[in-house]
Structure 1
Amino acid sequence: MTTYRVNKAGAAKARELIDAGKYDDSTEWSDAAPSADDENHYIDKHGYDGYGEWHLALDTEANDETKDRYGFPFGDFRKVNRAALIHAKQRAAQNDHDAVAKEADTLLERLDAHREK
């Protein structure tokens, strides 16, 4: 089983984007999720560190310079997607990645608080 830990850089980016109002609360994640080609283009332009900032978790056993290193994406490389946070929270909870589920829940609460303003 994969061992994930919270990606602090990803969580910080998500908080920054949410606070700046850069989130999508209406598009389903299946429609907003980047394609493999989109991911590859993003990696070519921003490297794996930039790519990793769009994920809530790190696989502690995967190689640094691979997509497998990162799990639980939360956006489309432009905005945080609310449905992605919900999906991440549910999937993390189902697979006993409690810290990741908690982080997704915290970000979801933050996004919802911004929506209510």
Structure 2
Amino acid sequence: MPPDIAVRGLEVTARTQCSHWHSERDIIAIKHKCCGEYYACISCHEALADHPNQVWPKGEQGIAKGVLCGNCHHELTIVEYLGSGNRCTKCAAEFNAGCRLHYDLYFEV
């Protein structure tokens, strides 16, 4: 992980997997709107943060670098991530397509 980017969570690996999500494709971390911190998943945020989660409003999703690829550590805007076809736009690593089931926990949809 680059020294200037920390990913919080439970048992976080160098590829941003955690104790909750750790398949080969569970390699993104999401910056939370509420605190500006990357967490491996919403469950890690709930376990460690001292505040409730906030979702990214649609109006900020094209600007905010809100998703971190755990493979190459490229930061994607939320719009870039949502339109990526579940692959990193820099290194083409595959992301878990099932994450779309949880978008509403992170992003205004």
TM-score of Structure 1 vs Structure 2, range by shorter chain? 0.3 to 0.5
Q: Which has the higher contact order (CA 8 A, sep 6+)?
A: 1
- What TM-score, normalized to structure 1? 0.35
